[in-house]
Structure 1
Amino acid sequence: MKRALFPKIIATLAFTLGLASSTRAADGPWPVEKAAAWAKEHPWLVGCNYAPSTAINQLEMWQADTFDLATIDRELGWAESLGFNSLRVFLHHIPWEQDSDGFLKRIDQFLEVADRHHIGVMLVLFDGVWDPYPHAGKQPAPRRGLHNSGWVQSPGRVILAAPSRHDELKGYVTGVVSRFRNDRRVHAWDLFNEPDNPNKSSYGRLELPNKAEMALALLRKAFAWARAANPDQPLTAGVWSGDLTKADALSPINKFMLEQSDVISFHNYHELDALKRDVETLKRYRRPILCTEYMARPAGSRFDPLLAYLKSEGVGAYNWGFVDGKSQTIYPWDSWQKRYLAEPPVWFHDVFRTDGTPYDAKEVDYIRSVTGVGKKV
């Protein structure tokens, strides 16, 4: 028997055992009491969306040839110094298809390093943002001055467009979730990041005209596959657009995500009043709330005062970006329409330069004052 088959056999067995022992309804989320108990065990999660500065996208982060554990270890030390206790980290189905055994090993190594820095991880399985044509192997070099010039979707247009191919992803979801289903280092599973994002300002002309419909079809299956694995950790998918205030006017995909998530997650890149409105609106679901993306300085979404507000409400806080690197998210979204030849005077995202120097030392002091570590750089 080939060695490469072992992880898939183990994942299948774990998946089957999960089915047999599942306490989660096949078509619904955890009871609110169970979600509350999880929140009690994980008081105020705070951190960032993380990719190492040496990776332009999820594939460069996770493929064997470019997996950079030394950089990850160094940069997670900076995260620990801020008092961050959780990271949101994107996976991709292609490394699973290339070498599932090696991929699981690398995830385990990442979790080990994070744990040494007293940091847990929220793992994201699918992503609907940026380039809809991901490919294995060597990834492109960054395009100068362009925000997320090389980030890729998972699964991408080719598979998303064909419902008959969605089941090809079942092994990836069940294999990864089953492997880490009772791993304390994993805080939560975010199943699909912005699944219906049309990417109008970047790759819009390459997107499916019925992307929202196809994404919802895959998302339904992803929830079912992940639930059947019966993880100890909660499942979620974050609402990111549209008016959330009227429950009877939600889009089909927003309605599904909010009603099916064990814990509620959302994105907000606006000023404090808009953030407060979303938090107050989402309280109606009586579940723990996580803000899994925020912080775009020129848009008025800044650590001060948003981080203190989120802490006061017990809402998990994951800002976008951490170290300036190949993702180039110090540049704004409009860099897809406007050319930037030099570092912008106000960074859009990110906290540190590649040498560990803060973009704004006062901002870093503020973060530490809120998290309670009180350290200086």
Structure 2
Amino acid sequence: MTITSRLNPAALAVVVLLASCGGDDSSAPSASALAARAAIDAAASDSAAAANPAASGDFMNAGYGGPSHFPNQLVTLGLPGPTPALRVSSRGVPPYAPPAPPVATDTQTLTLADFDTYGPAWTSGGANTIRIDGTSTDGAKLVTNAQHPAYGHASYEADVTIGAPAPGANTANAGFIVHVTNPTVGTDALTGYYIGLDAVRHVVQVGREQNNWTDFVDYPAPAIVPGSTHHLKVVTRNNAIDVYVDGTQVISINDATSGLTTALRAGAFGLRRFGASVAFSNVTVSRYPDVAPATYDFSRVVGAVYNPWNAVNAIDFWQNYDPAIVDRELDYAQTYGMNTITVYLHYLNWVNDRDAFLAKFDSLLEIAARHGLKVAPIFYDDCWHVDPAYGPQPAPIFGVHNSRWVQSPGQSVEQQYLQPVAAGASTTYKQDLQHYIADFVSAHRNDPRILYWEPMNEPGCSGNGALQPTRALMMNDARIAILNAGATQPINSPNVQEAEGDYFSDFHAFHPYALNATTPDYSLPPSLLDSLNSETLQRGWPGGQAGQTMAGIASTYGGKTGFLVWELMIGRTNTRFHWGQTASAPATVEPATPFQGTLYPDGHPWSTAEVQALASAFSSRLRVLNATYYNDTTFTTPVFSSITPLVDFDLNTERGTDSPDASKGMNATNYAIRWTGALDIPKGDDYTFSVTSDNVARVWIDGRKVIDKEQPGLATAKGRIHLAQKRNVPIRVEYVHANGPASMHLQWSSPSAGRDNLVRVAQRPLTDALAQQ
């Protein structure tokens, strides 16, 4: 992916992007941008890479950093090698050294003669001072006259002295207006942006004017009081605005509102005041070489929010991180045509286990890359329970949507955002959260595996309007922390419940989840370019929300804005239950149609039609086995058939996730599964096949029984067979589960095993696989 222009104000060059720890969760067994456009290519599966080798360079070759050869080492059948080991170490990442600032092409000190007046008269207070007396009339402004061409990439500076509110006025506010067009007399009578110092509310204020006012952020600044003087500096590039007060950056804006007029990218400069007497001294403007706005084309993004099936929330995910489960589930994502995942980080994991958390994130990136997946990390989340706690997470509540999902960093931290983290501490929560963000970004500032950084998911989802200004501060400060860490990837927070996400983002992200809709929400933003559907998919419920379908999502957003579904797995987050199923009104039975989620823990999709909608956009060939599920132990009563990429899963004993597929009526005990398909044998050799299961398991290769495990109990059985180099060698696997936690894992090894010598599940047309269900 290539983007033109740097998001960091100091960097203007073209940048090229893209191309088991211990735990306490006893409920589940541990498995131990092209020229001037940013184009995201979606060659996620092997077959898509083969069909589009140019695309595969970005997605498939970032990958596996493990050993090239692994003789006689067990490999899960279907994976590209052993799961990379998790390596935990304390590491020091050198601080980012920003490039030298650009050289100004022109610098001018402006006087009153350089401006046209709109409203009450201004006067010269000396050679380098422009002043105006206080009145109760709002919005007096000066705008540079016609002898000054429009300013685009520029900096503006002045020493601003603000008096007390004039009689009858209730404010004392003054500052700059930038990128001004169409100014007339009147309070908000212009198009442009305003950056003001408010001496009554003691804030630095930024917002947009289009003959009305849209407030972006009010940044606390206790030193701004009537009678005080402050050095205000503003830097603009297209829709980006950086604000410095007395030498310190306090605000970083990028207005990514979809469909925004291009007139806001450049324009005149001006001074403005409300209520008080004001003096602007040493008003200086510098021009810099213009930078073309970065543009982003996410049309080929296909992916999902990723939280492992056995984790109830992000804290649980990272605290009990298991690379084998991650490797397995990201293989599912790749097989079914995905190229991107979003993952939720959590502040409390960083506070309590920093080094391990950073190492686990590195592990996830390594595993994702070997499956052709880009990663979009999310730092904060404003959704669901307000009181996260580190440590063992409680079990999910049956029938309750997102029953244990928690906000990050949590309501109490947000309420104390500018306060010390502890009594007597010199560090505030704001500073600590910036360190948290910088820890991840600094280590991956140029990492092509990162698609974008997301400061906050769905600001406003909590419904706590009192914290809306704080959420704007947090997104602002997160943006500054990400840029100061040297990130070359774009930054985004979605515009869903509150619009503020757009004001601190490099592109527009949206979640089409219209509430109480009578028809499915497939809405599109005003501009498809620079837009991403970063979360979607809810299948509705009777008498409530009108449901979306995967086919509807793929046809509406695929090839336009791209899309990421909630969520990859169906598991302990309980999002298979709908939004209306809360603790006070839980579901009493398993839903026949999961509200959200795509795949079950063993890798079979809830609906093969959904897989067809996902995969056929890029390829019609998949590496999958056919799977038939029986509600008996003798393979006589089939319940349904599906497909899976692997024979590799564990299930717990919790209601709903104790069955391979409760939505289809599968038992949690006394069931059987049979897999059939074919293997590609890359080289003649002696191959060892291994099954680890809790009960009966059998394996046939090329018509010969290789494993016959008839004894109950969790154990491993192996068998050896000599196979010649051959494609489409038949395989059949049978598994019988009695009771307790289910476990079934099929692996292989050979003396010549390696990345160029992999036993693989044979690739075949998707239509053939579905026809054999």
- TM-score, length of structure 1 as denominator length: 0.82
Partner of residue 410 from structure 2, selected from 140, 150, 156: 156
Partner of residue 535 from structure 2, selected from 267, 289, 293: 293
Q: Percent same amino acid among aligned pairs?
A: 27
The within-5 A match list for 1:129-148 is: 129-148=383-402
1:197 and 2:278 are equivalent in the alignment: no
State whether residues 378 and 453 of structure 2, in contact with CA within 8 Å, keep that contact through their aligned partners in structure 1.
Answer: yes
* TM superposition shift of 1:159: 0.9
Task: Name the structure 2 match of 1:120.
Answer: 374
Code of the aligned partner of 1:289: S
Change (3 A) 1:169 1:53: same
Say which structure is richer in helix.
1
Structure 2 distance, partners of 1:198, 1:89, is: 19
Task: Name the structure 2 match of 1:324.
Answer: 570
Measured against aligned partners, the alpha-carbon deviations of 1:105-148 in whole angstroms (never above 9, x if no partner) come to: 11010011111111110110110111111111111111112111
Measured against aligned partners, the alpha-carbon deviations of 1:253-302 in whole angstroms (never above 9, x if no partner) come to: 51x422331121111125887433x42x245xxx5211111110113222
Task: Name the structure 2 match of 1:308.
Answer: 555
State whether residues 300 and 559 of structure 2, in contact with CA within 8 Å, keep that contact through their aligned partners in structure 1.
Answer: no
- TM-score, length of structure 2 as denominator length: 0.42
1:228 and 2:474 are equivalent in the alignment: no
Change (3 A) 1:20 1:170: farther
* TM superposition shift of 1:33: 4.5
Structure 2 distance, partners of 1:19, 1:306, is: 42
* TM superposition shift of 1:14: 2.4
Structure 2 distance, partners of 1:19, 1:192, is: 28
The within-5 A match list for 1:135-284 is: 135-164=389-418, 165-198=429-462, 208=464, 210-241=466-497, 253-254=498-499, 256-270=500-514, 274-276=521-523, 278-279=524-525, 281-283=526-528
State whether residues 338 and 614 of structure 2, in contact with CA within 8 Å, keep that contact through their aligned partners in structure 1.
Answer: no
Change (3 A) 1:328 1:103: same
Structure 2 distance, partners of 1:75, 1:92, is: 21
* TM superposition shift of 1:19: 7.7
State whether residues 19 and 228 of structure 1, in contact with CA within 8 Å, keep that contact through their aligned partners in structure 2.
Answer: no
Change (3 A) 1:183 1:344: same
Code of the aligned partner of 2:379: L
1:97 and 2:348 are equivalent in the alignment: no
Structure 2: stretches of 5+ with no match in the other structure: 1-87, 103-236, 243-251, 257-264, 266-290, 419-428, 541-545, 625-642, 644-773
State whether residues 459 and 501 of structure 2, in contact with CA within 8 Å, keep that contact through their aligned partners in structure 1.
Answer: no
Say which structure is richer in strand.
2
Structure 1 distance, partners of 2:349, 2:398, is: 27
Structure 1 distance, partners of 2:598, 2:89, is: 41
Structure 2 distance, partners of 1:25, 1:5, is: 38
Task: Name the structure 2 match of 1:35.
Answer: 294
Partner of residue 337 from structure 2, selected from 66, 83, 106: 83
Structure 2 distance, partners of 1:338, 1:212, is: 29
SS of 2:617's equivalent?
Answer: helix
Structure 1 distance, partners of 2:394, 2:334, is: 30
Structure 2 distance, partners of 1:5, 1:331, is: 39
* TM superposition shift of 1:35: 3.0
Partner of residue 603 from structure 2, selected from 356, 359, 366: 356
* TM superposition shift of 1:373: 4.6
Partner of residue 592 from structure 2, selected from 326, 335, 345: 345
Measured against aligned partners, the alpha-carbon deviations of 1:39-76 in whole angstroms (never above 9, x if no partner) come to: 4xx7611100110001111111112xx11111111111
* TM superposition shift of 1:177: 1.1
Structure 2 distance, partners of 1:307, 1:35, is: 26
Measured against aligned partners, the alpha-carbon deviations of 1:72-99 in whole angstroms (never above 9, x if no partner) come to: 1111111011110000111011121123
* TM superposition shift of 1:198: 2.5
Structure 1: stretches of 5+ with no match in the other structure: 200-207, 242-252
Structure 2 distance, partners of 1:373, 1:102, is: 40
1:61 and 2:317 are equivalent in the alignment: yes
Change (3 A) 1:374 1:297: farther
Task: Name the structure 2 match of 1:365.
Answer: 612
* TM superposition shift of 1:18: 4.3
Measured against aligned partners, the alpha-carbon deviations of 1:294-353 in whole angstroms (never above 9, x if no partner) come to: 11011322212221221232x120010121111011110111143212211221011112
State whether residues 121 and 187 of structure 1, in contact with CA within 8 Å, keep that contact through their aligned partners in structure 2.
Answer: yes
SS of 1:126's equivalent?
Answer: strand
Q: How many residues align?
A: 339
Change (3 A) 1:77 1:373: farther
Task: Name the stretch that deviates more: 18-27 or 322-331.
Answer: 18-27
Code of the aligned partner of 1:46: V
Task: Name the stretch that deviates more: 18-27 or 129-138.
Answer: 18-27
